[in-house]
Amino acid sequence: MVDPGDEDGRMERIASNNPAMAIPASQMVSRPDFNRLRSRSSIQQTHRPVRRSDPSGDTESITTISKSTSPEAIPPPSKYDVGWRRVVRNFSPSWFSVTMGTGICSLLLITIPFKAAWLYWFSVVFFVLNSVLFTLAFTASFLRYTLYPEIWAVMIADPTNSLFLGTIPMGFATLVESWIILCCPYWGYWSVWVAWICWMVDSVVAVAVTVSLPFLLMSQRDSQGLERITAAQLLPIASTIVASGAGSEVAELLDSPDHALGTLITSYVMWGMATPLAVTVLVMYYQRLALHKLPPREVVVSSFLPLGPLGMGGYTIMYLGKVSRLVFPRVHFFHNLPVAGDVAYILGFFVALIMWGFGLCWLVFALATIYSTRPFPFNMGWWGFTFPLGVYAISTMTFGVEMPSKFFKVLGTVFSIAVILLWCVVAGGTAKGAWSGQLFYAPCLKNLPLPKDGAEEGGRKDEERMVDKEKLSRS
């Protein structure tokens, strides 16, 4: 048996006597250094793919490499990448889609025509939960643009994330409508004034979003191909339709005929601003689907979004006509035409029925798209299952009450149950993703300009790392 130490010594002596095998002194490596380098080369690296999703449905695949190295070799993360700062900086507007989905569940439970006491209290629970979620989301957004004002510019310039600004007034409108149904009948007339003022604020924000965001999209220097058009283009437009629907419900409660008429006319104008524009976007979206086929799996849930403006638009024009029958005679509107309110109601009913049929076509398209592209990864875009289908269910149940029709009542109730179940699934996935941090990812932050001081400091750190590597290789 040959001792390994003697064998290594014999090989060193042979190499030292042979000039061709001798190593220059500048490149000599001691045995401890050689053993350390050899142990490093034998370290097993584990590549673990991780998918991060932003609330708009965009995903990014990153690969994490885990290995047993000393803590000194791993650079510490920036303070903006950990803790509450990371959550605030990556809290994009589309997180308000959570409040939209939660709010529509509250409205569905109280709208179901088959009344029960437990449905009312479940609606109250969802209303309270939605109030808490909206407060948290608004606080996080306020901190985001107050502490980091530079994020606002890159968010507005992003052609996808900026569209989700429409979710803010829509989420707030669900709170206003729940307040009208759950609180105003029991808390006195002061609660009606609160609802009216909140509706005014919501309407101003909704109209500003509807008018400004499409223009910003048109005025961008970078052209956007038709293949990149998604149904998310409907979000800033649908916010005004939702505000119009809330206005019709507020007008019904106002004691002053003049205030009620002003609210009603304003709601009609907002409906006219947004609904034809939404139909125009639907034409473009259909052309995109016909020419460039189905959307990617990451944003396939957006195929349900057309149900939003069609379902809510139909419900709004029908409810506006219903309130017109009460308000027009009180203010002697069209005083020489006493049936003006009835005409508005009948026209609104049949326009809503046409929009419901158009929405039924898009519902079949959406279900077929989901079936043909399954499975698809979870992201915040899954909240598109809840609100569009929820407002379509409300429109369906309203038809059942106005006709009356048991078919529409049962069908709307089935849609409502489906929305509640989908909310449970999506809320569970969102809670899990939020806890792990994978859903807190805003790709627009990549467009932030690098501060001059930060660039110089980063350059110095890179130079120091290069020097350290050179020293290590020489040693």
- Per the DSSP assignment, residues forming a β-bridge with 62 are 50
Model confidence pLDDT, tens digit, residues 52-61: 555 444 555 4
In the chain, what are the domain boundaries? 85-447
d(CA 93, CA 155): 9
Q: Output the pLDDT for position 3.
A: 53
Nearest alpha-carbon partner for 94 in 408, 364, 325, 379: 379
Residue 452: count of CB within 10 angstroms of its CB: 8
Which two three-digit tokens encode residue 110? 């109280």
Give average pLDDT by consecutive 10-residue segment, the chain, 475 residues: 50 45 46 49 46 51 45 60 82 92 96 93 96 96 92 88 93 96 93 96 96 87 79 94 96 94 96 96 93 85 93 96 93 84 95 97 94 85 92 96 94 96 94 86 79 48 46 47
- Could you tell me if 145 and 151 are in contact, meaning their C-beta atoms sit under 8 angstroms apart? yes
Which residues, including other chains, have CB under 8 Å from residue 397's CB and lie 6 or more apart?
A: 111, 112, 113, 408, 409, 412, 413, 416
Which residues, including other chains, have CB under 8 Å from residue 147's CB and lie 6 or more apart?
A: 88
What value does the CA radius of gyration of the chain take, rounded to a whole number of Å? 30
In CATH, the architecture of 85-447 is: Alpha/alpha barrel (1.50)
Q: Output the pLDDT for position 467.
A: 41
Q: Output the pLDDT for position 298.
A: 79
Q: Output the pLDDT for position 445.
A: 81
Q: Output the pLDDT for position 54.
A: 54
